[in-house]
Amino acid sequence: MHGRSPRTTALLALLAAGIALAALYAVPAVREAVQAAVRGDLDGLRVGLEGNKTTAALVLVGLAMVHVVIPFPAEFPTTAAGFALGFAVGFPLMLCAWVASGFAAYALARVAGRPGLVRILGEARMARAEAAVTRVGPLGLLGVRLIPFIPFSLVSFACGVTRVPLGRYAWTTALGTAPLTAFTVLLGTRLQTPSLEDPVIWAVLAGMLVLVAVARPVGRRLMAPS
């Protein structure tokens, strides 16, 4: 008996991933949360997560996984996690959720291959992302993850297509995602009773401003055509 061809295996894997994501999106709470995030409706997202904390945690993980194929600002669910669950639960939960989302995007890119992603993302955009992750070493890839304005899934796709070693991909994604995740979750914890006199808010904003300040020049250098 002949084994399946690589193409058949890839198509089956893509079909399974599509079914899994469709099933996840079919869950009303997840679908409503995704729609709120896509609209930029942070208040609506927070309201939808009020109540059972276990349900909120599952919805937030679902949001991170759906983010692989439906783009929206990752900061929205991360902020909502701080509001709904607090820092002690929200930070590790969202860090693990975003790392899992990154692995899913990496695996999808390996299976779909470059032609499939180009049809979705466009040749120029994909080429810039590939060039960035190809020419930088581990520290450069870590720097890409630290920058708020570079799309999370786009970097993951580029790493998968260019076959960045899995170990390097894992630690740079986890370590590079942690600072912004921590800042954003912590900011979310203060949204229940926001106050300009709260030193935590100012500390969080200062940390985020540092990331934003380095984002433009570093991002421009990394994403510029070679």
Domain boundaries, the chain: 6-223
- The residue ranking higher by pLDDT, 113 or 8, is 113
With 50 as the cut, is the pLDDT of residue 165 above it?
yes
pTM of the model: 0.73
Question: Taking all residues of the chain, what is their mean pLDDT, rounded to a whole number?
Answer: 76
The answer to whether 67 and 101 have CB atoms below 8 angstroms apart is yes
Whole-number pLDDT of residue 88:
92
- The residue ranking higher by pLDDT, 72 or 171, is 171
Whole-number pLDDT of residue 1:
45
Rounded mean pLDDT of 50-69? 83
With 80 as the cut, is the pLDDT of residue 120 above it?
no
Picking from 17-31, 67-81, 134-148, 182-196, which range would have the lowest pLDDT averaged per residue?
A: 17-31
Whole-number pLDDT of residue 25:
66
Whole-number pLDDT of residue 74:
83
Whole-number pLDDT of residue 23:
65
Question: Torsions phi, psi of 162, nearest 5?
Answer: -85, 0
User: Burial letters for 34-73: b for 16+ Cβ neighbours within 10 Å, e otherwise?
Assistant: bbbbeeeebebbbebbeeeeeebbebbbbbbbbbbbeebb
Rounded mean pLDDT of 81-88? 88
Picking from 95-109, 124-138, 157-171, which range would have the lowest pLDDT averaged per residue?
A: 124-138
CA torsion, points 213, 217, 220, 222, in degrees to nearest 10? -100
pLDDT category at 53 given cuts 50, 70, 90 is confident
